[in-house]
Amino acid sequence: MARPFFLRARGLRAFTPFIEYSPTSWRLIGSSRSTFQVTVTRRAGRTSCRLRRWAPFSSGVFVSLAVGGGAVRVDLAAGDLKNVIATPKGAFAAMNGADVMADYLTQAGKLTPAAVIEDFRLASTGKRFEDASEYVRAYKDDLPILGARLRDIQTPVLVIAGRNDPIVPPANAELLAERLPHNRLALLDAAHRIWEEATEPYAREILSWVGGGYRLV
């Protein structure tokens, strides 16, 4: 099962969907800055973490990548994402994050199975939303650094995003396509959760890409 993982270790911030998951450990195989191996172990209710850094993406660790909607520059973010980026540290600390996400989850529930919505809710409950907000607040510092490295990534990348995304407008995906040396851009008729809002076109794009499309860019 894959799930996002938020890591803090000696000032390092890493957040990525590229995670191998088991009930007792995660293996983080990709991050925005480099490639890491992270093992998180739970014993007697306590969690320990070990981190080992590998090489950057450009080293050929990945055969190809498929990336979705994410802000590439702060000025290209929109809606609620733009608002959260601008909040000060601790802005949501006194709130239950599940309450902050309630309206979004109600809307998402029109397409998303109830069990998945509950997982989303639990992922934001308590102070978890505040913790996750620290990641996007760091965009102001991190994105200029990462943006300067895009042209160095030689790995083929499928950039797949929603044409009507209200928080990450397609200009972000178009900027990635402009700067990544080897990529294919796919803008689908969907908003932010394209894998649910445009299920069949999304599946076709992914299958085409992993079936050999990555070799053509």
Q: State the CATH number of the domain containing residue 204.
A: 3.40.50.1820
Within a 10 A sphere around the Cβ of 170, how many other Cβ atoms?
A: 19
Last residue of a domain, one of 9, 33, 54: 54
Q: Say if residue 60 is in the same domain as residue 74.
A: yes
C-alpha dist (Å) from residue 109 to 116, 117, 192, 198: 9, 6, 14, 15
Domain extent for 43: 1-54
pLDDT at 144: 94
Residues 35-44, buried b or exposed e (16+ Cβ, 10 A)? bbebebeeee
Q: Say if residue 81 is in the same domain as residue 98.
A: yes
Mean pLDDT value across residues 85-108: 94
Report residue 160's pLDDT band, with 50, 70 and 90 as the boundaries. very high
Q: Say if residue 87 is in the same domain as residue 4.
A: no
Within a 10 A sphere around the Cβ of 200, how many other Cβ atoms?
A: 8
pLDDT at residue 34 greater than cutoff 70:
no
Question: Between 53 and 116, whose confidence is greater?
Answer: 116
